Structure 1
Amino acid sequence: MNLVIDNRQDLINTSTELIEILSKAVELSLKYEGWDPDFEVSLSLVSNEEIQELNKTYRGKDYATDVLSFPLVDDEFPVGEEKLLGDIVISVEKALQQAEEYGHSFEREMSFLTVHSMFHLMGYDHMDDASEKEMRKKEEDVLSQLGQVRQ
């Protein structure tokens, strides 16, 4: 598994420990689903301003969101020869706000957003109650393995 991190914000410190946790979150998500660990995932850490612009451009929604997922797979197989799973973009500002709002750590919120996005990259969605319930269960299982449970 190769995690390529692009920290494009300087508002919130992202420690080496956090990066290690996020890397493990990607690895455990792939393992949980039985996917080949040789995939590459891109993780961009951005500001609210940048994610708002991306959200507007790609989803037509003009507000800052917490995370965006851009899958590069088709029917669970990579498009092209390289094993590029996709791109995850997290607003670090929004993650910090949500961690405070939900009363848990910044690391737990960043882990959740990464795992949540990983399941989107692997083809899961939450468009109805059944699929949302299935996705939430998988997320919580991976977060438990990571030691990032809700407090």
Structure 2
Amino acid sequence: MSEPLAVQAEIEVTQPNFSVDVALIERVVTQVMQNEGETGTWEIGIRLTDDRELQSLNQQFRGIDAPTDVLSFGNYDDDDGEFVGPDGVYDDDEFADPEEADAPSYLGDLAISVDRVREQAGEYGHSARRELCYLVAHGTLHLLGYDHETDAERETMRLKEEAALDALGITRDASA
């Protein structure tokens, strides 16, 4: 029998008048990871901030001087794509410090623009809650190694995002 899956989200909200349901966000990350067959205990950091900070991060890490909706900072070495931890590269799914066997594995961090959440929710005709959940699912897939450089990759990600949200009953209904 496989090990159960648990996700702990450390969420920092820098924007006034924006509330977040931490349990819902953890359920979204958990659903994405469950759909991908992940097990174990994981930790993810999520910073909910504004366009200005996302633009600065986008410039610093991607060389793009424009705001964006979500950025992902995975727990891996970009040079070879291998996952790393405090003591170097780990085999298989052992991303946590081996000396702390009970410690959660660190998946990575997401930075999400609350400005984009609100704007895109209006643009797509659904709630800010749904848009935030979508961006969390999207970012989590990036942390798991997915990208959307090609049409095929984009379609794969879109199907996985929607599968996770559908499983949780998070629809495009404006009130959802």
TM-score, normalisation: structure 1: 0.90
Tell me, what secondary structure is at the counterpart of 2:112? strand
Tell me, what secondary structure is at the counterpart of 2:71? strand
Distance in 1 (CA, whole Å) between partners of 2:22 and 2:121 is: 17
Residues 72 and 139 of structure 2 are in contact (CA less than 8 Å); yes or no, is this contact kept in structure 1? yes
1:4 maps to amino acid: E
Q: Which runs of 4+ in 1 moved over 2 A?
A: 73-78
Distance in 1 (CA, whole Å) between partners of 2:135 and 2:127 is: 13
Tell me, what secondary structure is at the counterpart of 1:34? coil
Which runs of 5 or more residues in structure 1 are unaligned?
Answer: none
Bigger CA drift: 46-55 or 69-78? Answer: 69-78
Partner of 1:13: 18
Partner of 1:146: 168
Q: 1:76 to 1:3 in 2, by over 3 A?
A: farther
Partner of 2:155: 133
Superposition deviation, residue 105 in structure 1: 0.5
Residues 9 and 45 of structure 1 are in contact (CA less than 8 Å); yes or no, is this contact kept in structure 2? yes
Distance in 2 (CA, whole Å) between partners of 1:138 and 1:110 is: 16
RMSD between superposed Cα atoms in Å: 1.7
Superposition deviation, residue 134 in structure 1: 1.2
Partner of 2:66: 63
- Which one has the bigger helix percentage? 1
Superposition deviation, residue 73 in structure 1: 3.6
Superposition deviation, residue 141 in structure 1: 0.4
Partner of 2:112: 90
* Identity score, percent: 39
Tell me, what secondary structure is at the counterpart of 1:41? strand
Superposition deviation, residue 8 in structure 1: 2.0
2:144 maps to amino acid: M
1:13 maps to amino acid: F
Superposition deviation, residue 76 in structure 1: 8.3
Residues 30 and 37 of structure 1 are in contact (CA less than 8 Å); yes or no, is this contact kept in structure 2? no
Tell me, what secondary structure is at the counterpart of 1:23? helix
Superposition deviation, residue 150 in structure 1: 2.2
Tell me, what secondary structure is at the counterpart of 2:41? coil
Q: 1:4 to 1:76 in 2, by over 3 A?
A: farther
Tell me, what secondary structure is at the counterpart of 1:134? helix
Superposition deviation, residue 30 in structure 1: 1.1
Superposition deviation, residue 24 in structure 1: 0.8
Q: 1:37 to 1:93 in 2, by over 3 A?
A: farther
Partner of 1:79: 84
Higher Cα radius of gyration: 2
